[in-house]
Structure 1
């Protein structure tokens, strides 16, 4: 069952290991050619360190997302939570395996131990239009996917976390770092959203982030 914005309430993003700080990303960077056709015209905002979120949602409540960051190894995910916590949330997680093959799957985050993070489970529903994609180009990883919801997404609590280990048998290792933001998915290009950020997931520090067309 797909959960609406009122019940979902929170967007969880679990993200890959960071590349060196001198390497950055911005909304001025072009998308890889493999993604440009299906994911053009997205709004864009830098959200944390080198992480950039591109998105758009249509009248049918289909959310298109491209999440990107500098990448060397590890996993990147983006999910939704009822209350801003990891437990009982669902996520889309992508990584490049040890043999170089790309992987992207939904996960149900039922608890904090690896055995409670279960692949191919959860309440996220992928759109029928395009299959989820993950690719690496010029030391950047891109997760591109479309999700269907029963209501438009509005302001969402977004959790960001860093995991450095490559998953084995779809088992995710514990994150290495994390932060929390509130992201407004109803704000169009060139407008603003309020970002709520915290290394502990629950800070009172806020900042304003501008949008640009991607």
Structure 2
């Protein structure tokens, strides 16, 4: 009896495993498999095929079907959101035109063109863009755990910089067709003749990363460490002062370099939506310069002005850090770095504040 029960459990487990494997494999597509999708609005035989976005299993099939007509079929896993494919003259999202498709809650499919005028959702405009989509050629269908978005473009040669995006899970556009910011995206360059694809990533990635990391480290992390040293290391006089000065001076230099990287980056990408971020950065730099000048004009310990100087120095530093933290989070949003950067930076700042609070409590109890 026990043996038969064990056998039943094993068989059920194997059936479950087989079902899971079959379900996962059925949601995959590859260029080695034939395109057998019912109801597409144009002939899809003899399409060229490339792995468009390997990490998301996006497969693109395409063909020039006449002198001025190109056919495209984008195959993706079912995303429970919108999928998009953009065409751009530059390897970047801004300035591109995109074909975006999704299924409503009732299961009906919608495909629309969008003009990607800026990175903010309000500037991603439905029913606008430079693409000429052939009438009655666009469709999005679901089959075998895959989504297929098909469309034809009236063009002699489509742009070779292609942008792929997937929307946040569970989101579908409403009656205004406004999109939320994508969950993930990639930029590629494709040779439509050879089928060779190159992942471009984000333009000026190294410069963007240098700008972000330097400002994160300088204006918030090192500045907070410098405050901790100044407030809770004074029993080690005068060593605490030299450490505090060294940390804050390093923070100022690194922050200055980070802001210069930001100016260079703005010039290279011709960004139109960074005025607030830039203004906050300049304000933070001005506060940093005021702190440096305050150190040079510091009154002696016995001076009547020392108390006023301390109040000024401490509070300007606090204001600087508050604005710096806010601007870093805003910069992560502009750079579309997503939750990983937000969480990592947030945890780091949170730990520093926990340390500061614990030390403040200990100091209060003494």
Q: Scaled by the length of structure 2, what TM-score is found?
A: 0.44
Provide the C-alpha distance between the structure 1 equivalents of 2:199 and 2:146, rounded to a whole number of angstroms.
Answer: 25
Kept in 2: contact 1:107–1:122 (CA 8 A): yes
Give the alignment partner of residue 160 of structure 1, picking from 159, 164, 169.
Answer: 164
2:52 pairs with one of 47, 65, 90: 47
Instruction: Report the Cα offset of residue 45 of structure 1.
Output: 1.3
Partner secondary structure for residue 112 of structure 1: coil
Of 192, 195, 203, which residue of structure 1 is paired with 2:198? 195
Structure number with greater CO (CA < 8 Å, separation at least 6) is 1
What is the rounded CA distance, in whole Å, between the counterparts of 1:202 and 1:68 in structure 2?
29
Q: Which residue is 2:37 aligned to?
A: 32
Cα RMSD after superposing both structures: 2.4
- 2:128 corresponds to 1:121: yes
Q: Which structure would you say has the larger Rg?
A: 2
Matching residue of 1:80 = 87
Retained in 2: the 8 A contact 1:94–1:104? Answer: yes
CA contact (8 A) 2:69 2:154 kept: yes
Higher helix share: 2
2:239: which partner in 1?
none
Alignment of 1:1-214 (within 5 A): 23-27=27-31, 28-35=33-40, 38-48=43-53, 49=55, 50-128=57-135, 130-149=136-155, 151-153=156-158, 156-164=160-168, 165-169=171-175, 170-187=177-194, 192-198=195-201, 200=202
User: Could you tell me how far 1:142 is from its partner in structure 2?
Assistant: 0.6
In 1, distance between residues paired with 2:74 and 2:109? 15
Q: Deviations over 1:179-203 (max 9, x none)?
A: 222111122xxxx5142353x4566
* Partner Cα distance (1:197, 1:140) in 2: 26
Q: Residues of 2 paired with 1:56 and 1:65: CA distance?
A: 7
Between 1:79-88 and 1:135-144, the stretch displaced more is: 79-88
Paired with 1:21 and 1:82, the residues of 2 have a C-alpha distance of 36
Distance in 2 (CA, whole Å) between partners of 1:25 and 1:109 is 28
Runs (4 or more) in structure 1 with deviation over 6 Å come to none
After superposition, the C-alpha distances for 1:132-154 in whole angstroms (9 at most, x for unaligned) are 111111221111000011x3247
Question: Could you tell me how far apart the structure 2 residues matched to 1:24 and 1:202 are?
Answer: 33
Name the CA distance, whole Å, in 1 between partners of 2:129 and 2:28. Answer: 32
